């Protein structure tokens, strides 16, 4: 490879790495580079690009998360809703649900959803991490989607035992009194049973690192982050993005109702600069 060819590749690769994109993401979106992921890592290790190895986003090692400060204390909640019950049901499609907390300076919390097959990630800002706040998000989504579409998307939900999920009947019952979902709970201290949403949180934390204060975060900011995450191609999807995988399954109207948009490949940014630059 000539110096000129190397420089041309560097002009494409280094800015994207600084935006938080991975070598896989770059090679998937730029086949004209004619470079394997392994070769790109080698060139970075050898200092042949402007971007350095240290600039690469790191794969976060999965660690069991510490227990919620408040857990569901009413054991009757788990009757016929345990992880063992979920396994017996063995649904073809389910959605994982969780929360992401702000720093201690703010009570604002993100309610998150993850669709394992499509790798689609959703997040909704709540003013407080309470059962009522979660219910409000569910009601808002049902009104936006319609009861039938809500049921088709969220028929089975798998979550942890945090107290914010402690009133399953209220979440399962729609605004017109129709059952809109069925909720199941992971075993205690087994967040890996919903590992998809936990891994999605590692991408979220690339933009909102732990310790970030959510007090001035808006739903517009959250939608922007979600759209950038969902516009990142995944190897498990054969190089497709979660947005495109979901578009094939759910259709454009559903994605619009969820306020999801496709981000151009070279505009995808997974660093704190994403929110800082768009305020």
Question: What is the mean pLDDT of the segment spanning 51-78?
Answer: 68
Mean per-residue pLDDT of the chain: 89
- Average pLDDT on 244-265 reads 96
Q: How crowded is residue 231: how many other Cβ atoms within 10 Å of its Cβ?
A: 22
Q: What is the pLDDT of residue 62?
A: 45
Would the pLDDT of 141 be above 50? yes
Closest CA to 254 of 167, 176, 141: 141
- The span from the CA of 23 to the CA of 177, in Å, is 49
CA distance 59 to 199: 10
CA angle (115 as vertex; 109, 116 as ends), nearest 5: 120
Mean predicted confidence (pLDDT) in 176-180 = 93
The pLDDT value given to residue 179: 95
The tens digit of pLDDT for each residue in 149-171 reads 999 999 999 999 999 999 999 99
Q: Does position 54 have pLDDT exceeding 80, yes or no?
A: no
Q: How far apart are CA 114 and CA 100, in angstroms?
A: 13
How far apart CA 95 and CA 154 sit, in angstroms, is 6
Q: How large is the average pLDDT for residues 183-189?
A: 92
pLDDT of 196 higher than 60: yes
Name the residue among 14, 45, 43, 46 with its Cα closest to residue 30.
14
98 near 157, Cβ under 8 Å?
Answer: no
At 19 the three-state DSSP class reads: coil
Rounded-to-5 percentages of helix, strand, coil across the chain: 50, 10, 40
The model's pTM: 0.87
Tell me how far apart the alpha carbons of residues 268 and 228 are, in angstroms, rounded to a whole number.
5
> Is residue 61 pLDDT above 50, yes or no?
no
The pLDDT of residue 58: 60
| H or E stretch at 109 | strand 109-115
Specify the higher pLDDT residue, 51 or 253.
253
The order of strands in the sheet holding 109-115 is 120-126, 109-115, 95-101, 156-159, 182-185
Please state, in angstroms and as integers, the Cα–Cα distance from residue 138 to each residue in 43, 127, 171, 182, following that order.
48, 14, 7, 13
- Specify the pLDDT at position 40: 83
Mean pLDDT for 234-251 is 95
What is the DSSP secondary-structure string of 51-96?
S-GGGSPPPPPP-PPPPPSSB---GGGGTT-SHHHHHHH--SS-EE
pLDDT tens-place string over residues 8-28: 888 888 888 888 888 888 888
Confidence of residue 143 (pLDDT cuts 50, 70, 90): very high
pLDDT score for 277: 55
Round to whole Å and give the CA distance between 265 and 263: 6
Share of the chain above pLDDT 70, in %: 94
Within 13 Å and on the Cβ side, how many CA atoms surround 108?
15
What is residue 192's predicted lDDT score, i.e. its pLDDT? 83
Structure token digits, residue 103: 């720093």
Instruction: Choose the weakest-confidence range: 35-39, 157-161, 184-188.
Output: 35-39
Given pLDDT bands bounded at 50, 70 and 90, which one contains residue 189?
confident
The predicted pLDDT at position 60 comes to 45
Least-confidence region, from 36-45, 80-89, 133-142: 36-45
Task: Using the predicted structure, report yes or no on whether residue 66 has a pLDDT greater than 70.
Answer: no
């Amino acid at each position: 490879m000539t110096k000129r060819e190397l420089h041309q590749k560097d002009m494409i690769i280094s800015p994207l790495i600084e935006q938080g994109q991975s070598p896989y993401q770059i090679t998937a979106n730029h086949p004209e580079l004619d470079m394997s992921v392994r070769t790109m890592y080698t060139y970075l290790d050898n200092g042949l690009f402007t971007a350095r190895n240290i600039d690469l986003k790191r794969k976060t090692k999965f660690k069991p998360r510490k227990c919620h400060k408040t857990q569901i204390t009413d054991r009757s909640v788990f009757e016929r809703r345990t992880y063992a019950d979920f396994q017996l049901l063995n649904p073809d499609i389910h959605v994982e649900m969780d929360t992401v907390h702000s720093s201690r300076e703010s009570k604002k919390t993100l309610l998150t959803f993850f669709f394992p097959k499509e790798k689609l990630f959703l997040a909704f800002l709540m003013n407080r991490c309470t059962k009522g706040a979660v219910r409000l998000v569910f009601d808002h989504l049902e009104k936006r989607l319609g009861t039938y579409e809500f049921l088709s998307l969220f028929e089975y939900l798998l979550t942890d035992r945090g107290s914010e999920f402690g009133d399953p009947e209220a979440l399962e019952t729609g605004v017109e009194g129709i059952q809109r979902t069925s909720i199941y709970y992971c075993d205690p201290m087994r967040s890996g049973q919903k590992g998809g949403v936990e891994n999605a949180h590692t991408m979220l934390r690339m933009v909102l690192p732990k310790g970030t204060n959510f007090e001035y975060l808006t739903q517009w900011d959250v939608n922007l982050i979600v759209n950038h995450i969902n516009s990142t191609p995944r190897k498990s999807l054969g190089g497709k993005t979660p947005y495109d995988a979901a578009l094939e399954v759910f259709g454009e109207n559903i994605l619009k109702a969820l306020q999801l948009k496709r981000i151009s490949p070279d505009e995808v940014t997974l660093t704190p600069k994403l929110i800082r630059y768009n305020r």
